[in-house]
Amino acid sequence: MKQNDEKGVPMSSTSICTNSQTGCHFLSLANLFDRVIHHSARMHGISNDLHSEFELYFLPSKNRVSRNCHTSTILTPNGKENAQRIAREELTEVILKLLLAWRDPLWHFHQNMARHHKFNNLSSNKSLEMSEMVHELRKGVQKVAEKMQMLGIISNSLGTLGSREALLASDSPEWRLMNDYNLLYCFRRDSNKIQNYLKILKCRIVPEHGC
Amino acid sequence: MRLEMSSNRQQRLCVAMMRNVGGVIVLSLLLVFVQLAAGESFSPPGTPKNIICRSPEKETFTCWWEPGSDGGLPTTYALYYRKENSDTVYECPDYKTAGKNSCFFNKNDTSIWVTYNITVVATNALGRAFSDPVEIDVVYIVMPNPPEEVTVTVIEDTNWPFLRVSWEPPEKADTRSGWITLIYELRIKLENEDEWEVHPAGQQKVFNIFSLRPDSTYHVQVRCKPDHGFWSEWSGTTFVKVPDYFPRERSMWILIAVFAAFIILTFTFIWLSYMKIHNLKHYVLPPVPGPKIKGFDKKALKNGKFEDIFSSLVVSDFPPTTSNYEDFIVENLEVFVPEEQELIMEDSKDLQDDSIKSENSTCDNDSGRGSCDSHTLLIDKGGGDKEEALQSDQEGSQDERVPTSPEEVMEEDLLACCDEKNSPDISEKVKFTPSLISPLPRYNLMNQPNPPEIGKKHCLSDSLLNPDSLPSYFTQPPSTKNDFRSNPWECNFNHKQHPLHPQTTGKEHLQVQNEISWVHVDRTEASLGVQAPSVRSTEYVEVQRVSGGNMVLLHPVSAGQENSGTMSHQTEHYSRVKTVNNDSGLLLLQKESTGEEMGICLSEEEVESRATSNGYTASITPTSEKPMVGINSTLPILDDRMASGYVDTATMFGLPTY
């Protein structure tokens, strides 16, 4: 059966490009995008699993009012039009902010889980993997951003501003107040955002490679 | 009165009427109550249930609810929602678009990644009912529309047609911008079947299906799903008819061929089994020819008799491998009988030149008939008692022996020396047959005519003799003078038993040990002495036997013997010993015929060459003067007189000549 493994990196993108340098760069950029998208999809999957598990075993009280994710301070487009309307740099910045904002909370979450044995081993491994992935994904997206900047796709206005906001968000003690369930809920959503934004970004920048 | 009667009547009518009306009212009231009891009750509405919200493209969503009882009264439903972290209550903007009991949220009202808290309220005249709140996030309630434009085509490029199914994502779902990522799934079944065959297709929009049944109709359906969401409905069935084709399967032909080959092989085996296996085996595996050589006889091995054992190994012409050299006793012994010798010598004249003539060592001075040729010394395997007697004597010691009878003498070993010479000439003479090489029938030495026949004298070539073999031989060719020269190269084995000869009372036994190559001459008796030396300066030593230890037993031919005319006869045959090989002793004996020239068959060089080899058995011609002559590894002592006809080995080797 003819099948195309489209979940992974398309094979065509790995071919040696003999085009102009720009073409090659675009090819590799699409490749990079695919990788980070794949990475983010995996991260979201893990968070989804953890959330479901948490919901199953640790039945949260009805008192889930404070669904107040600490990343709510980060303005994110919450619609397709918004996401398409937003500039590439902003979108990239949003992604980076989100990833940065979740670095510490996930780490502490994992520590908390491991210390108190709230999860089984499998879930504990997932939490660890989740915290690591967010770290690596951020690096990956940074690479993508750098490449885009190098290619002139986005301006160089990226950087300091985003990180500052992100730092603010991460420094806010709000996330420490979140209970575990809320944290998982929030992260599940944010990982979905990241994945979606990356897809949008890719299809805006390199639409001819599998969009 | 009448009035009173009419009033009474009127009163009665009124009462009746009033009763009717009351009854009617009562009846009606009763009816009303009855009706009320049997029909719906008016109540507040029931709570709406099962609020389901779905979004087809993650941009809008619709919620449906299930109304509860309406309480018999017209009930209105309202949907209220609150957005995340906001207390503002909004009401459904659109109740119509999605149908009854639904609420449609358009794009403007839809926020992704925002939690909606939705509640449906039913209201009627009597009350309200609030449904349970439902929290949704649009991202997770996406259920796209089925894929569209599902087309199935039959591809018939090859012999094996297949189906190619292709489709398009639902129109509303925006996959191009990456907003939604859909994965697809298709299913197929034959028209008659009930079970579908489901194939996940990932994100691709084309799919091939193989292994179709010819001439049949298939049903194909496709559906899709976003990353995190719900499966769409199956698309409408697409019908496809697979044409009829003949599956010319190559592998089928191969299978048939293999099967046929198998059957053929089976029949072949059956046929072969009917054939005589014997014949077949002979055809395929011809019998290996048996060995010509008998090899070892196992029974003989068990018996432990060497003779038997090795007898099978020995080719008739081949020299025997017995270790017992005494078996090599020359069959023909040269009996030193002067008279007879002459006769014999006469006879021996007939011998061919190249025949080996053994002659009795009738102390013939002139018996230079040593044959020059063979450098090898052959010891015939003599037969007879003599040999054995000699053997026994010889083996025992190197003592003197006295041959008892001429027969014994005859049976003395002769050393054959010639390569090509064959056939001992004179039967009486010691015939030497190359007993070393091959066992020859023993002869009665007295019956001399045989010898020539025997004559296979094999002269041992050098190759035949190993160093250990006895190299030396003493030949005393008491040949006739005539023959002396005639057969210079004859190798003669002379050995005559001097003891037999009356003249030679004593025997000098020369024992030559090959390896040691010393010749020890024993003179048993001094009787020899008298004449022998006088007659000849050289005495011939007869090789009596060759012992197993490579010893050559020699006894000198007494000079007296030589004096006899037989010597002349014998001079005809003289043997020259050529060294068998380097290691073997060089034994040269020549009998110098009187007056006759004696050719030195053996060239001196040869002699020298041989002499230079290690160990020589000296040919000793002991003179009678000395009863004992011991010759060590060097050599033969030759009389000066003999020197002319003899190889003066002594001079060569520097030994004193006697």
Cβ contact B529:B627 at 8 Å: yes
**Vertex B261: Cα angle to B255 and B263 (nearest 5):** 105
Cβ contact B578:B460 at 8 Å: no
Cβ contact B521:B513 at 8 Å: no
Task: Please give the Cα distance from B129 to B124 (Å, whole number).
Answer: 9
The Cβ of residue A21 has, within 10 Å, a number of other Cβ atoms equal to: 8
Counted residue by residue, chain A has a size of 211
Q: Which domain holds residue A140?
A: 30-59+70-156+169-204
Q: What is the structure's pLDDT at B198?
A: 94
Task: Please give the Cα distance from B467 to A49 (Å, whole number).
Answer: 101
Task: Give the phi and the psi of residue B555 in degrees, each rounded to 5.
Answer: -135, 140
Strand arrangement, sheet containing B206-209? B148-155, B162-168, B206-209
Name residue B646's amino acid.
Y
Q: How far is CA B26 from the centre of its chain?
A: 124
Q: How many helices (H) and strands (E) does chain B have?
A: 16, 22
Test A200 with B110 for CB contact under 8 angstroms. no
Q: What is the structure's pLDDT at B322?
A: 56
* A21 belongs to a structural domain: no
Instruction: With CA atoms as reference, report the closest residue to B340 among B427, B220, B257, B403.
Output: B427
* Nearest neighbour of B202 by CB, restricted to A7, A79, A81: A7
* A79 belongs to a structural domain: yes
- Write the pLDDT tens digit of every residue in B458-516: 443 444 344 444 444 444 444 444 444 444 444 444 444 444 444 444 344 433 344 44
Instruction: With CA atoms as reference, report the closest residue to B141 among B235, B62, B82.
Output: B62
Task: Give the phi and the psi of residue B118 in degrees, each rounded to 5.
Answer: -115, 135
* A4 belongs to a structural domain: no
Task: Give the residue on B whose Cα is nearest the Cα of A69.
Answer: B85
* HEC assignment per residue over B504-558: CCCCEEEEEECCCCEEEEEECCCHHHHHHHHHCCCCEEEEEEECCCCEEEEEEEC
Residues of B in contact with A80 (CB under 8 A): 58-59, 112, 174, 177, 179
Strands B115-124 and B128-130: antiparallel
Looking at CA atoms only, how far is residue A9 from chain B in angstroms?
A: 12
Q: For residue B121, what are the β-bridge partners?
A: B78, B130
Looking at CA atoms only, how far is residue B60 from chain A in angstroms?
A: 10
* A15 belongs to a structural domain: no
CA-based diameter of chain B, in Å? 236
Boundaries of every domain in chain B: 1-39, 49-137, 148-243
CA atoms within 13 A on the CB side of A62: 3
Q: How far is CA A146 from the centre of its chain?
A: 17
If you count residue pairs, one on A and one on B, with CB atoms under 8 Å apart, how many are there? 76
Task: Please give the Cα distance from A175 to B508 (Å, whole number).
Answer: 135
Instruction: With CA atoms as reference, report the closest residue to A49 among A143, A119, A100, A144.
Output: A119
Tell me the angle at which helices A160-171 and A88-101 cross, rounded to the nearest 10 degrees.
30
Looking at CA atoms only, how far is residue A63 from chain B in angstroms?
A: 13
Q: How far apart are the first and last CA of chain A?
A: 23
Q: What is the structure's pLDDT at B248?
A: 62
Task: Please give the Cα distance from A154 to A163 (Å, whole number).
Answer: 17
Q: How far apart are the first and last CA of chain B?
A: 228
* Nearest neighbour of A67 by CB, restricted to B115, B139, B210: B115
Task: Please give the Cα distance from A185 to A102 (Å, whole number).
Answer: 13
Q: What is the structure's pLDDT at B230?
A: 92
Kindly state whether B84 is in contact with chain A, defined as any CB-CB distance less than 8 angstroms.
yes
Q: What is the structure's pLDDT at B63?
A: 92
Task: Please give the Cα distance from B619 to B643 (Å, whole number).
Answer: 13
Task: Give the phi and the psi of residue B307 in degrees, each rounded to 5.
Answer: -65, -40
Output the CA–CA distances (angstroms, integers) from residue B73 to B33, B35, B78, B120, in the order listed. Answer: 19, 16, 16, 17
Structure-token pair, residue B186 = 């298709």
* A210 belongs to a structural domain: no
Kindly state whether B192 is in contact with chain A, defined as any CB-CB distance less than 8 angstroms.
no
Task: Please give the Cα distance from B392 to B411 (Å, whole number).
Answer: 13
Looking at CA atoms only, how far is residue B273 from chain A in angstroms?
A: 51
Same fold? B49-137, B148-243: yes
Q: Look up the ipTM and state it.
A: 0.83
Tell me if residue A31 falls in helix, strand or coil: helix
Q: For residue B116, what are the β-bridge partners?
A: B83, B136
Instruction: With CA atoms as reference, report the closest residue to B598 among B486, B514, B518.
Output: B486
Q: What is the dihedral of CA B617, B623, B628, B633, to 10 degrees?
A: -20
Kindly report the CATH number assigned to the domain that includes residue A146: 1.20.1250.10
Name residue B153's amino acid.
T
Kindly state whether B181 is in contact with chain A, defined as any CB-CB distance less than 8 angstroms.
yes
Work out how many domains chain A is built from and give that number: 1
**b/e map of B176-215 (b: 16 or more CB within 10 Å)?**
eebbbbbbbbbbbbbeeeeeeeebebbbebebebeebeee
Output the CA–CA distances (angstroms, integers) from residue B201 to A34, B186, B207, B420, B627, in the order listed. Answer: 19, 7, 7, 103, 125
Optimal mutation site among A6, A70, A91, interface B, most CBs of chain B within 10 A: A6
* A163 belongs to a structural domain: no
Residues of B in contact with A67 (CB under 8 A): 84-85, 115
Q: What is the structure's pLDDT at B197?
A: 92
Task: Please give the Cα distance from B415 to B519 (Å, whole number).
Answer: 15
pTM (2 d.p.)? 0.50
- CATH of B148-243, picked from 3.40.50.300, 2.60.40.10, 3.40.50.720, 1.10.10.60, is 2.60.40.10
Instruction: With CA atoms as reference, report the closest residue to B363 among B562, B513, B182, B534.
Output: B562
- Each residue's pLDDT expressed in tens, for chain A with a length of 211 residues: 434 444 444 444 445 555 556 666 667 888 888 999 999 999 999 999 888 888 877 665 554 555 678 888 888 888 888 888 888 888 888 899 889 889 888 888 888 888 776 667 777 888 889 989 999 999 999 888 888 888 888 777 665 444 555 566 555 666 676 777 888 888 999 999 999 999 999 998 888 877 8
Task: Please give the Cα distance from B223 to B183 (Å, whole number).
Answer: 8
Counting other chains too, the contacts that A137-142 makes at CB distance below 8 Å and 24 or more residues apart are A137/A36, A137/A39, A137/A40, A137/A43, A137/A99, A137/A194, A138/A96, A138/A99, A138/A100, A138/A103, A140/A32, A140/A35, A140/A36, A140/A39, A141/A36, A141/A92, A141/A95, A141/A96, A141/A99, A141/A198, A142/A96
Return residues 115-154 of B near A (CB < 8 Å). 115, 137, 139
Flag residues of chain B having pLDDT under 50. Answer: 341, 344, 346-364, 367-537, 552, 558-575, 577-580, 582-658
Task: Please give the Cα distance from B576 to B587 (Å, whole number).
Answer: 7
* A52 belongs to a structural domain: yes
Q: What is the structure's pLDDT at A40?
A: 93
Test A80 with B177 for CB contact under 8 angstroms. yes
Test A80 with B115 for CB contact under 8 angstroms. no
* A12 belongs to a structural domain: no
Place of tokens 């033969």: B636
The Cβ of residue B84 has, within 10 Å, a number of other Cβ atoms equal to: 16
The Cβ of residue B268 has, within 10 Å, a number of other Cβ atoms equal to: 10
CA R_g for chain B:
70
Cβ contact B181:B224 at 8 Å: no
Look at the domain B49-137 and name its fold. Immunoglobulin-like (2.60.40)
Return residues 522-551 of B near A (CB < 8 Å). none
Element (H, E) at B391: helix B385-396
* HEC assignment per residue over B274-304: HCCHHHHHHHHCCCCCCCCCCCCCHHHHHHC
Residues of A in contact with B210 (CB under 8 A): 1
Test A5 with B202 for CB contact under 8 angstroms. yes
* Nearest neighbour of B177 by CB, restricted to A78, A195, A203: A203
Task: Give the residue on B whose Cα is nearest the Cα of A42.
Answer: B227
Test A78 with B114 for CB contact under 8 angstroms. yes
Residues of B in contact with A182 (CB under 8 A): none
Optimal mutation site among A47, A199, A201, interface B, most CBs of chain B within 10 A: A199
Place of tokens 């592998």: B251
